[in-house]
Each structure stands twice: as C-alpha cells, then as structure tokens.
Amino acid sequence: MAVVMPPTKPPAQQARKEIYNIVFATLNRLEIEASPANYELMYDVISGNNPELREKFSRLRKPIAEHEVEALARTYLPHHFGKSIHDESASRLQNELTSLKESLQSGQSSLSTFTNMLGQATGKISSIDPRDTKTMQSHLGSIRQLSEVQQSKSAKLLENVSTQISTVAAISDEVEQFERTKFTHPTTRLANRRGFHKKLAELYGAERYPDDISLLFCNLLVLTPFETAEFLRLKEAFLERLGAIVSQTVQTMDFAAWLDRPQIGIIVRTSAETEVQKIADQLKRSCLAAFDSRQGVMPKVIARFGCSTTYQAGTASELVANTEKALQTAIDEQNEKVVFLSGATRKDWMLYRS
C-alpha cells in the first residue's frame, strides 16, 4: 500500500481542458455547428471513448453534411433528442390507449346486445308449448347461433385487446430503454460519465451524508497502443470484454462506470484500504486474463489506481478531484498498488446523521 502527498494540480483536469479546446477547434475546422449534441459527438470521436462512432465518423465524406452528423448523434447520443422521442412515444401511447378503450366499449356493447337478445329468446321459449318440438328446436337453434356469433366476437375482441396491450407494453419498453441509454456507455455496457455524475449527485444529495464510501479510479495504459485507426475494431472488442469483467468484479452494492480518462471509476461502499486494494487486485488479474495472448503479441497490462473517500470530501467534485490527484501520483511514480489520498483532514459527518 502506498500513501503519498498529492500534487497541487491534477494533470487529468488539464488533459480534459486540452481536449475541450481540440473539440471546439475541430468543429470550427469542419464547419460543424457547436451545438451540445455535436460537441459531445466530437468529444467521443476525438477521445476514442466510442471506437465504433469514431470509425463511422471518419468515413464521412468532406465537407460533412449536417444531416449525416445528426444521424450519428441520433444513434449514439439519443438523450439529446429525448423530447421528440418522448413526444412521439406519448402520441403513440395515446392512440393505442384510445383504440383499446374503443375495443373494450365495443365489446361491452356487443355483450349487452347479446344478453338482451338471449333474454328475449329465452322468454319466447318459456311461452312455447312443450309439445311443439319443431318450434322449440327452431328457437334453440337461434339461441345457439347467437351464442356462436358472440363467441366469435369475444375471441376477436380478446385478440385485439391482447395485441393492443402488447403494443402499449412495447412503447413503454422503448421509453425505458431510451432512458437507460442516456446513462450507459454503449460498448462496455457500464455506466457512462453522465451516469457516474448522476450517481455521485445521488450520494451527496441524500438526506444523510455519504460516509464509509470510497471512489477508486483506474487508468489502463494497455489501451494506449490501440488508439490508432487500424486498431479501433480490436479496441472495441476489448472494451466489450473489459466491461463484462468490471461488471463481474464490482459487487451488487458497488457501482462502476466507464469514463474517458481515467477509464474506470468505481464507487465502493467501504473506506477500508485493504478491501479497496482487493478490488483493484481482482480487477487487474481479470484484465490480465482478458488481454492474455498465447502468441505473446499483446501489450503488457499496466493499471494504475488512485483512491479517496467521502470522509475527505464535502462535495462530489471534491471527491473526484481528490481521487484524480491520487491516481496521478500512482502514474507519476509508476506505482502498481492503489495510491490513497493523504494529507487531507478526515471529516466526520456525525452531526448530520439522523
């Protein structure tokens, strides 16, 4: 275990600032509008956060048409088009519910008509002379025919209602799936940076202050050789495998997200350094297995870890900054163990506890 004093300014923040500048410069050079959707799209392209998107964007012919950029944004950044999607879904849902209501009303009307006709037919039978078998059979045949027609109508109604209910459920699933994509990294299937920030906001926005919680950052230097265009497909396969590995490593009570750099952020519900180190060791062993190559051509897996706790941070941004400092120390010193933030006063939230 290594415990060191953090540097004053984490280079990770400087790196993000530089890529922001590159994104705006690229949008300007390609004459693409710097809208929120286009900015995030270009950010993912330049950072390599989404290899598939990066490859598809590189195939666009210059000058890049606005509708082509929008098509990519709708596919990979659906959250920017959430209003139109929700409006469309609400309109479809309203139409299906209206149709369902009409079907049920039609079924109720048909059943009422059948009941009245059956009552009339039964009344006529009671007035028939039991010895008049011919008339009796005729009326019974009419009742049987009415029942068969009603049975057919009921079966059709049941089929229509079942179809409409399935359609309503499908629309609901589409909206739910859309909501999930807003907070999910498309390749690793882990939470994305947006989902990561949402989780931090939930922690610090709760009635009780978050205590006994650690934030662990992991920087995987093994991905660096795969940033070039020819290895994008290979990198995508690695990201899918790594996402599954991280999901298996993180327990049910913990939370993992795929970030641009550092690549992995894990919220661990313990401040015990030994437990955090166990998670880091397990993650590194899993990555070694994922990148194993019998031919010996795969790059060596190098992982750096930095960690801090909520005891040392009064806000979510302070927690992230502290962890970035610890991670940068691990990178600078090439430390293979988790570097825990030191030099900060442990904050006690007992006064805020209920």
Question: What SS3 class is residue 177?
Answer: helix
Percent of the chain with pLDDT over 70: 77
Comparing 139-148, 150-159, 296-305, 332-341, which segment has the lowest mean pLDDT? Answer: 296-305
Query: How big is the CA angle at 262 (ends 258 and 256), to the nearest 5 degrees?
Result: 35
CATH class of the region 193-340: alpha beta
* Distant-in-sequence, close-in-space partners of 172: CB < 8 Å, separation ≥ 6: 93
**Omega before 262 within 30 of 0, i.e. cis:** yes
The pLDDT of residue 10 is: 53
How large is the average pLDDT for residues 58-71? 88
The per-residue pLDDT for range 140-150, each reduced to its tens digit, is 777 788 788 87
Comparing 59-63, 66-70, 166-170, 261-265, which segment has the lowest mean pLDDT? Answer: 166-170
Q: Distance between CA atoms of 38 and 25, rounded to whole angstroms? A: 13
Q: Distance between CA atoms of 76 and 70, rounded to whole angstroms? A: 10
Q: Residue 350 — pLDDT band, cuts 50, 70, 90? A: very low
On the CB side of 265, CA atoms within 13 Å amount to: 24
Note the pTM of the prediction, 2 decimals: 0.57
The pLDDT of residue 178 is: 66
Q: Residue 294 — pLDDT band, cuts 50, 70, 90? A: very low
